[in-house]
Every structure is written in structure tokens, then in C-alpha cells.
Amino acid sequence: EAIKREVIGKFKELSELRNRVSDEMLILLNKIDNIEQLIDFIITQVVSDIVIRQEFLGIESLKKRLNRLLIELNKEIGVLTVEKRIQGRVKQQIEKNQKEYYLHEQAKAIQQELGDEDLNDWEILSQKIKKAKMPKEAELKAMGELKKLKLMPPMSSDSAIVRSYLDHLIGLPWCKSTKVNIDLNKAEKILNKDHYGLDKIKDRIIEFLAVQKRVNNNKSPILCFVGPPGVGKTSLGESIAKSVGRKYIRIALGGLHDESEIRGHRKTYVGSMPGKILQNITRVGVNNPLFLLDEIDKLGTHHRGDPASALLEVLDPEQNHSFVDNYTETPFDLSQVMFIATANSLNIPSPLKDRMEIIFLSGYTEQEKLKIAEQYLLPKQIKNTGLKPNEISIDSETILSIIRFHTMEAGVRELDRKLNKLCRKIVKLIDTNKFKKITVNSESLIEFLGPEINNFNFKINENKVGRVNGLAWTEVGGDILHIEVVSIIGKGNIIRTGKLGDVMLESIQTAISLVRSRTEALGIDERFYETNDIHVHVPEAATPKDGPSAGIAMVTAIASSLNHIPIKSDVAMTGEVTLYGDVLAIGGLKEKLLAALRGKIKTVIIPKRNIKDLEEIPVEIKGALNIVLVSTIDEVLEVAFEYKPKQFVNNKKVSIDDRKSVNVYNPNPLI
């Protein structure tokens, strides 16, 4: 029974291996009760060899026959299992080959269906690469990328990345340039045509171009125009490009704080791009444009790298012939590019500043603004707004009123906007009312431009104790800085308000010590610092203020608050002061004088050490102001105080004129 069961089990296993187990057969097998018949049935199913079948017939013992059948079954099962294994392997291999073959065929069919373009595309790309005349290194890189591209499935994102990279390489103007022709006379003409005045600056530009013409390499320093907004820095750059026949690109660097904006992203990043330099070069399609780097002083720094150092590489003639953008990965020659920078202040990272030649542009006087408005801005706005020149009539007096009462700036940008507004309104008036011509005069200005702006550049009309007009120089031009000091009964505290910077705070300290060191001559009780608190305030408290040039103004205001002598309100002053009362030179003289003029100041006190700067100040400014040059603080006070102080001797004030009679030694006589 045991062998019988074993045999039946093995038979079933074999049948399964042969994939030939039909339900009927199993039913049949179960129905056979006679063991002899069962063996015979199985033998017919398992053994096909006649000789072995014969052998079975010869075995009489049932047990032996069963054992023999078991051997035969095991043999057959063994063979079949090996066969199956081999079959499996072969099948797998065939399946894989078939799949690849099938897919390739399908891809080919799809490409054929799309037309021959794609197949040829690679050919075209390769030709484009050759035509782009890249340097060897770049060409090898491009060809390598092309090879990669061919192996990639065409619709994958990787292939799109490689594709746009190749397009970028091909699009770069490796060898294309505009013909630079420096004709100095023509350049001068263009500069004069586009800009009024600025004679010195134009001269310097022409010199620069003359040298470039001779030397024909771009190793000369980079020009950097520094000045308040709206004085024509950007438009000068544009004119230079025009006058030498270079294409013009302006990059605004204000607020740019990511190095990759200059140098590009690695192309492994999603959405990566080349930096602004190469992007713009590709856009204009030549390798020798003029780049105007606008507002280079507003470059920010950030954790994502320092754009200034990237710029340094771009601007350095020793390095920029092989500028490597992170995206391009291969050097591009920038040595033919001409760079010009602009800035509002000298607050430029010093390595960058070293590479540049700074040219200062100062604000315009009223007369200059008037000329610019009449000759350049108004005709431009008339054209821009579609007015006909005979439809508007405006005289110089009215334009001066716009300058005086509707703008408050060192440059002419606001003026430009106001003229635009005026022209716009006139166009509307003419079109709606069918007027022929509109005459604008000072009275009708308010109608067109709105109320006059509150001129905070005002002077205060009343002589006051402790209040003085300082002159400040800021990025947006000069300004009048009202400094106010009061001394109140207290314990010697110094209070300082108005968002003052460190240097200004220190100059207040210096001023107080200076006043303390000469109390007698100033007519001040020498123990004032024990009995008074001094509060120094600079209004417009929200605007940060700094610098040492308010030194003499601080001394004047503090001294006045202590000896109660009013300060003349039509006097303004600027100058740094030392502890010994010497007055040191200051910067931004023209801007400060312009601000004084705008603020209707009559007398301006400036350091004698600035005398050389006066040469450059237009006569119309010098003529309109009474400029007093001083070298010591005593001279300042003499001009600024309403009357002379009385000396303070033995706890009582003595008129300075009585000095001789009391016979006091005065080391620094005021008068």
C-alpha cells in the first residue's frame, strides 16, 4: 500500500511537470481499484520505450514491478525538471532579446513617422556646433554632450537639459563681434548731442577712447561714474556705446545678492541658467558689447556667495579672457567686452574699486537744469507724448518754477517726469477741448502739476539759539541739515537723537570737549557740564546721518545753547573740527553749495582746506553765495553768531571788548 501510494504521488507530480494532468485522468486513476490494472495504466502513461515495457511484462512480483515503476518515475521526473530549468533560462533570454528588439523597432518606426527631421537633427546639431567656431575645448565638450544626447530617450528630461545646454553653447557668440570703430570727433559729437555740459567728464571719456584706439586692448581701467541719481550716468554709458559702435547692455546690480546671477547655476540644477553676463552676450549676439553695470554700490552679499567677487573676475583683464560660467562649464573670452560702472556713492567693495577709475558727476545748478530741460528733456517729452512743438508754449521762467517748486533733486530725473506729466496733460486738454495751443505759465503750473512740493530744503527764517544750518552730502545730492541743541538744567548728561551714526556721535563728543576747553572765551560757565544736560537733535529723525563734516556746526550749536547767542539763520556751514579747533576739509562741496543755494542760504562757511575744490565750482554758484573760508573754529563762530560772546571771568560775563580792562589772558582770542 505504501509503495502504491508513493507511485501514485510521483505519477501526479510527473503529470504536473508534463502539464498534462487532465481532471478525467485523475478521476480514472481513482476509479481503478485493481492494483495490477493501476500499474499497467501508469506504465502506459509513463514509459514509451517498448523494450522497457516488455521488461515490465516480464516481472511477475507485484512488489518488484512497483519498485521498478518508482525508479522509472523518478528518472522521468529528474529529466523533466532539468529540462524545465533549461527551458526557463532560454525563455528568459529570448524574452529579453525580443523586448529590446521590439522596442528599438518601435522607436525607429516612431521617428520615421515623425519625419526624417529628428534623425537629421543630430546631424544638424553637429554642423551647428562646428559652425559656431568654438574654441577646441568647448567644441570637444559640445560633441561629447551630443554623443550623450543621441543615446538618451528623446522625451526624457535629461535629454531636454542636454539639448538646451547645447543650444546655449551654440548660441554664444564665440567669434562674432561688431566692428569697433573709434572716431574721436564722431564720439565727441554724439556725446555733445546727447548731453548738455559735463565738459570735464566728456573730455575724460574722449581721452579714454583715444587711448583705447591706440592700444587696442581692453586692459585700461574700467570707468565708474559716481554721482547722485538723474545726473546722466546711465545715459552717458549708452552714448559711449553709440559713439564707438558697440552694442549696449545694461545690468542693474541693485539688490543683486546671489553669485549665480553673475556666474550662472550648475546645469545639474533644475531650471539652471547661465549668469547675466553670458545671457546678455547671447542676447546681443556679439562678444564685444558695452556692459553698463548700473548701481555697482548696491551689490548685496548673501550666504549664497558674494556677487562682488564674481564681478571681480569678470572685470579683471588678467582673468576675464577665460571667464567660466557655472552653467557653460567652459571658458568664454570676455576680454573684448567694454565695461562701465555707475554708482551713487563710493561705498563699493574695495577690490572692485581698485579696478575702476572713478569719475565724479555732481548735481546740476538751476541754470544747468534749465538748459537741459529746454534743450533735451522738453523736446524729448514733446516727442514722446505725440505733441506738436507748436501746440505748447512755455518760457524759461516757467521751467525755472518747475525746477524750483516742483522738484527737489540733484539730477534731472524728477524734472523729466514733471515735464512728461505736463505734456501728457496738455495732450489731453488739446484733444478734449479742441484747443490749438496751450501756453503754460507759472500760475497755471499748479493746475498741471499739482501743489508745489513742500520744500524741506528750507532755511529757517529766524535766528535762534542752539539751531544751526549744517550742510550734508548724501547719495541723492546735497541737503541742509538743521542741527538743534538745547541745554537744560541737569547733571551733565549728553542726549543725542536723530538716528546719528558713530562718526557723528563722536564728533558731538569732540565738539563738547572743544567747547569745554574754551568756555572762558565763549562766555560760558566752565562748570556747565555739571549743571546742564545737553540734548543734540538732528531732525528728520528717520533718516540715518553720519560723517564728520558736521563738526563745526555741532560746536556752533552747542556753544550757542550754552552762551545763549542766536545763530544767524541765513548762514550754513560744513567742516570737520579737531579738538584744537582746526577746521579740516570735507567732501561733496559742490553738492553742498547747491543745496545751500536751493535753500536760499546767503553765507556758507567752508574749510579753507577746500579752496582747491572751489576752482571747479561754477561761477554762478560762487557768485550767488557769500563763501567764507575758515581754518579755525573761532572764525566760524565769528561769522555765525549774531553778536560776539562776552568772556566769562570769575563767574560773571564780561564783554570781550572789556577784555583789556580786566586783563585776562585769552589763548584763542575770538576777535
Return the ∠ at Cα 424 (arms to 418 and 426), rounded to 5°: 105
Contact pick of 233, 267, 369, 482 for ligand ADP (by CB under 6 A): 233
CA torsion, points 164, 165, 171, 177, in degrees to nearest 10?
A: 160
Min dist. Cβ of residue 413 to ligand ADP (A)? 5
Site size toward ligand ADP, by CB under 6 A = 18
Residue 617 CA to residue 590 CA, distance in Å, equals 6
C-beta closer to ligand ADP: residue 292 or 630 = 292
Which listed residue (15, 192, 235, 330) binds ligand ADP by CB under 6 A?
235
Q: Which is nearer to ligand ADP, 125 or 191 (CB)?
A: 191
* Distance separating alpha carbons of residues 226 and 241, to the nearest angstrom: 18
Return the residue nearest ligand ADP (CB atom).
232
From the CB of 291, what's the least distance to ligand ADP, in Å? 15
Q: Which is nearer to ligand ADP, 274 or 477 (CB)?
A: 477
Chosen residue from 328, 342, 381, 407 binding ligand ADP by CB under 6 A: 342
Q: How far apart are CA 227 and CA 346, in angstroms?
A: 9
| Stretch touching ligand ADP by CB under 6 A, among 111-119, 191-199, 436-444, 616-624 | 191-199
Q: Is 197 in the site for ligand ADP (CB under 6 A)?
A: yes
By CB under 6 A, residue 232 contacts ligand ADP: yes
- How would you class 322 by CB atoms within 10 Å of its CB: exposed for 0-12, middle for 13-18, buried for 19 or more? middle
**Annotated active-site positions, please?**
549, 592
**Which residues partner with 478 through β-bridges?**
473
* Residue whose CB is less far from ligand ADP, 55 or 374: 374
Q: Is 478 in the site for ligand ADP (CB under 6 A)?
A: no
Cα–Cα distance, 245 to 248 (Å, whole number): 9
Which residue, 378 or 596, has its beta carbon nearer to ligand ADP? 378
Judged by CB under 6 A, does residue 413 bind ligand ADP? yes
Residue 414: CA atoms inside 13 Å, Cβ hemisphere, count? 17
Residue with Cβ nearer ligand ADP (230 or 466): 230
Strands in 532-537's sheet, in edge-to-edge order, are 494-497, 532-537, 477-489, 467-474, 571-573, 603-607, 626-630
Q: Should residue 195 be labelled a site residue for ligand ADP when binding is judged by CB under 6 A? A: yes
The answer to whether 264 contacts ligand ADP (rule: CB under 6 A) is no
Quote the least distance from Cβ 212 to ligand ADP, whole Å.
22
Least distance between ligand ADP and beta carbon 138 (Å) = 36
Cα(167)–Cα(162) distance, integer angstroms: 9
With binding defined as CB under 6 A, does residue 229 bind ligand ADP? yes
Contact between 376 and ligand ADP per CB under 6 A: yes
Q: How many CA atoms lie within 13 A of 648 on its CB side?
A: 20
Distance of CA 517 to the CA centre of its chain: 49
Contact residues for 607 (Cβ-Cβ < 8 A; gap 6+): 574, 575, 576, 583, 584, 585, 586, 629, 630, 631
Q: Which of 399, 479, 394 is nearest to 437 (CA)?
A: 394
196 touches ligand ADP by CB under 6 A: yes
Question: Which one, 241 or 557, has the nearer CB to ligand ADP?
Answer: 241
Q: Is 198 in the site for ligand ADP (CB under 6 A)?
A: yes
**Rounded CA separation 312/352 (Å):** 6
Candidate segments 114-122, 223-231, 480-488, 570-578, binder of ligand ADP by CB under 6 A: 223-231
Minimal distance, residue 235 CB to ligand ADP, in Å: 4
- Candidates 189-197, 314-322, 588-596, 643-651; binding stretch for ligand ADP (CB under 6 A): 189-197
412 is a contact residue toward ligand ADP (CB under 6 A): yes
Is residue 267 within 8 A of residue 161, CB to CB? The reply is yes
Q: Which of 173, 230, 274, 588 binds ligand ADP (CB under 6 A)?
A: 230
Nine-digit cell at 392? 505748447
Question: What are 420's three cell numbers?
Answer: 512728461
Q: How many CB atoms lie within 10 A of CB 480?
A: 21
Q: How far is the CB of 229 from ligand ADP (least distance, A)?
A: 4
Among 43, 134, 205, 234, binds ligand ADP (CB under 6 A): 234
d(CA 296, CA 79): 86
Quote the least distance from Cβ 297 to ligand ADP, whole Å.
Answer: 12
Q: Is 605 helix (H, G, I), strand (E, B) or coil?
A: strand
Q: Shortest approach of ligand ADP to residue 290 CB, angstroms?
A: 15
With binding defined as CB under 6 A, does residue 416 bind ligand ADP?
A: yes
Among 132, 146, 169, 372, binds ligand ADP (CB under 6 A): 372
Nearest CA among 581, 515, 592 for reference residue 547 = 592
Please name the amino acid found at residue 292: L
Q: Return the C-alpha cell found at 541.
A: 529723525
Minimum distance, C-beta of residue 441 to ligand ADP, in the bound complex (Å): 24
Binding residues for ligand ADP (CB under 6 A): 195-198, 229-235, 342, 372, 376, 411-413, 416
